[in-house]
Amino acid sequence: MPDTINVDTNPKPTVIIVGAGLGGLLLGALLERVDIPYIILERASSFKPLGSAMSLGGQILPVFAQLGIAEKYQTMAKPYTFSRGISETGESLLKLDYSVAQDVCGYSNYIVARPQLYDLLLTQVPAHKILLGKRVLTIGEDDERIKVQTSDNSVYEGDILVGADGAYSAVRQRLYETLKQEDRLPKSDYEDLPFNCTCLVGQTEPLDLEEFPQLKDTGYPFIFTLGGEGRPYTWTNFSTIDGRIAWVVFEHLNKTTSRAAQEQRFRHSENSEWGPYAAMSMCDETRDFPIHYFGKDGANLTMGYLYDRTPQNRISKVMLEEKIFKTWHHGRTVLLGDGAVTAMHDAIVLANQIYALPVNTSKAIHKAFTEYQTERYLPAIEASRNSVLLSMILNKGFKGMLALFVSQHIPDWLWRIFVRRMVHTRPAFGALPKQEFKETVSPFVSASEEKAKRIFELRRDKASAAAGAEVVVDTSGGVSASAI
Ligand SMILES: Cc1cc2nc3c(=O)[nH]c(=O)nc-3n(C[C@H](O)[C@H](O)[C@H](O)COP(=O)(O)OP(=O)(O)OC[C@H]3O[C@@H](n4cnc5c(N)ncnc54)[C@H](O)[C@@H]3O)c2cc1C
């Protein structure tokens, strides 16, 4: 039987979002546009400009256009077509061409500094809706309400709880503990994956372009360097539009180093960031890694040069999660994925589902969350598969050598298919008008976007009919609305 669509009452659930990361902020920005009440609880006591840079283009620009921030984004991000892989000794290993992405979705790929992207999303959420210094400790649900307790003993209640708290999410951990006790958690979700990589991230202050003419070269703003024999590291340098070098150093862990890193992390935090001490000691270990930028005198520089030009409080050691869990929601709690693009795509689909909710009952919410997971599960797996080739290269070893060989010899037609698949998913928010169609390949319109759009149109028609009724009543002095 088809669902009954309730357009008379817009139930407007109250949404509690945990985590003001990229996913949480984008969800807040979208809910803001449709007047759905929400708050964001963030454990940090202030906004810190953390991170390096990321590649973000046509997969997200359609939604930025809907929010009216696409043009601003394009002034703060650097378009790029190629990325380059170099060996530690300077030998060119790989040149990857992403220009087909632009043919597919009408937008170039861009390198954007994470802090700048973060600030852009922050402008879309009123400051009073982000509560800082609120580390979520416990979650509970009763009488069709969700309750959240934070480290300062505050309690927040709402209809929906969104765990957007990044890698090693506390909301996920609490939810899974409950499900495990009730024997309702799939075995594969019992354990966090042992992580096989840690990252050090940061970005320098703006550098003198005369000293670094390479920063003006638009052809190669994205360089990754593979550490040599016995050096289990890869390091990436991005040049940003405002003349900074954003950098990431990956340490590839083996069984022993992974266990040690895991223990160290739990001593300092239950989440994805280590403290400043761990970050500084990783800087010390990696200072002498060569980078492919040259100083004024033509001398080769090292990562240490970049560390010295990066304010210490902007350097952090983080880990990324590599596992895709099977359980994404239960009751009134739902999780939003880690990984910048994945988290933002999840936020868009979730916003569609929340907007289109017919009523605030647990049953309706369960149905919406199930549809959300159904829509996002395969693209999340696909996104992780798409990054597998690059991560295999970055992880080195035998598989890495093989992946490098494949990438060096991949036929053009196959590479184009690969890049097309990378930008295949481009969800949009059905409750906001879509901007001019830029793509050469039609975007796939998702079920949730379609659903939100249908509800938006029904609500709009209903509202204008009601407004029409009022006008007649007003002008004809007592004609009943039923006469229209
Ligand atoms: C510091 C940092 C720097 C990064 N830099 C890069 C980069 O340069 N390039 C790149 O490609 N990827 C980077 N990543 C990874 C990438 O940005 C994330 O994968 C992406 O931001 C995912 O977005 P998210 O919204 O799921 O989580 P995040 O952006 O990680 O946000 C989660 C938020 O939840 C908050 N939080 C966590 N636990 C709680 C709790 N219990 N209660 C309340 N709030 C909580 C955190 O403080 C954080 O603000 C970085 C991640 C981090 C954490």
Tens digit of each residue's pLDDT (9 = 90 or more) over 81-117: 888 888 888 888 888 888 888 888 888 889 999 999 9
Distance 42 CA to ligand 1 centre (A): 11
Model pLDDT, residue 480: 32
- 443 band by pLDDT with thresholds 50, 70 and 90: low
Query: Strands 333-335 and 329-330: what pairing?
Result: antiparallel
Q: Rounded to whole angstroms, how far apart are CA atoms 217 and 437? A: 30
Q: pTM (2 decimals)?
A: 0.90
Model confidence at 10: pLDDT above 90? no
Distance 22 CA to ligand 1 centre (A): 7
Tokens (6 digits) for 279: 């970050």
Backbone CA torsion sign across 460, 466, 467, 469: positive
Q: Rounded to whole angstroms, how far apart are CA atoms 369 and 210? A: 53
Atom number, ligand 1, closest to the C-alpha of residue 167: 30
| Residue closest by Cα to atom 31 of ligand 1 | 21
Model pLDDT, residue 447: 92
Model confidence at 427: pLDDT above 50? yes
Q: Rounded to whole angstroms, how far apart are CA atoms 348 and 63? A: 8
| Number of neighbouring beta carbons within 10 Å of residue 269 | 14
Model pLDDT, residue 288: 94
Model pLDDT, residue 470: 53
Model confidence at 322: pLDDT above 70? yes
Residue 455: which of 15, 5, 1, 12 has the closest Cα? 5
- Residues 60 and 112: beta-carbon distance below 8 Å: no
**Which position has the higher pLDDT, 234 or 437?**
234
Among 159-163, 236-240, 393-397, 401-405, the range with the most confident prediction by mean pLDDT is 159-163
Residues 6+ apart with CB under 8 A from 254: 232
Model confidence at 312: pLDDT above 70? yes
pLDDT, mean of residues 229-239: 87
Distance 180 CA to ligand 1 centre (A): 26
Model pLDDT, residue 160: 97
Distance 401 CA to ligand 1 centre (A): 31
Model confidence at 13: pLDDT above 70? yes
Q: Rounded to whole angstroms, how far apart are CA atoms 393 and 399? A: 8
Residues 362-395 have pLDDT tens digits of 999 999 999 999 999 998 888 777 666 666 666 6
Distance 248 CA to ligand 1 centre (A): 15
Model pLDDT, residue 178: 93
Model pLDDT, residue 396: 63
Model pLDDT, residue 238: 92
Mutational test site, ligand 1, from 22, 47, 310, max ligand atoms within 8 Å of CB: 22
Model pLDDT, residue 472: 44
pLDDT above 90: percentage of residues in the chain: 50
Give the binding-site residues of ligand 1, using a 6 Å CB cut-off.
18-24, 41-44, 50-54, 114, 134-136, 164-166, 170, 201, 248, 271-273, 316, 318, 320, 338-340, 343
Model pLDDT, residue 349: 98
| Residue closest by Cα to atom 27 of ligand 1 | 166
Atom number, ligand 1, closest to the C-alpha of residue 343: 26
Atom number, ligand 1, closest to the C-alpha of residue 336: 26
**Which position has the higher pLDDT, 126 or 228?**
126
Atom number, ligand 1, closest to the C-alpha of residue 316: 1
Distance 275 CA to ligand 1 centre (A): 14
Model pLDDT, residue 482: 30
Among 10-24, 180-194, 245-259, 415-429, the range with the most confident prediction by mean pLDDT is 10-24
**Which residue blocks in 79-181 are alpha helix, DSSP H?**
99-105, 114-122, 170-181
Distance 343 CA to ligand 1 centre (A): 10
| Residue closest by Cα to atom 50 of ligand 1 | 51
Model pLDDT, residue 1: 37
pLDDT, mean of residues 208-231: 80
Mutational test site, ligand 1, from 150, 201, 247, 323, max ligand atoms within 8 Å of CB: 201
pLDDT above 70: percentage of residues in the chain: 85
Among 37-46, 56-65, 272-281, 463-472, the range with the most confident prediction by mean pLDDT is 37-46
Model pLDDT, residue 228: 84
388 phi and psi, to 5 degrees?
A: -65, -45
Distance 135 CA to ligand 1 centre (A): 14
Tokens (6 digits) for 339: 């990984």
Residues 6+ apart with CB under 8 A from 267: none
Model pLDDT, residue 193: 66
Mutational test site, ligand 1, from 17, 30, 39, 42, max ligand atoms within 8 Å of CB: 42
Supply the mean pLDDT for the chain. 85
Model pLDDT, residue 66: 95
Distance 167 CA to ligand 1 centre (A): 7
Model confidence at 298: pLDDT above 80? no
**Which position has the higher pLDDT, 211 or 310?**
310
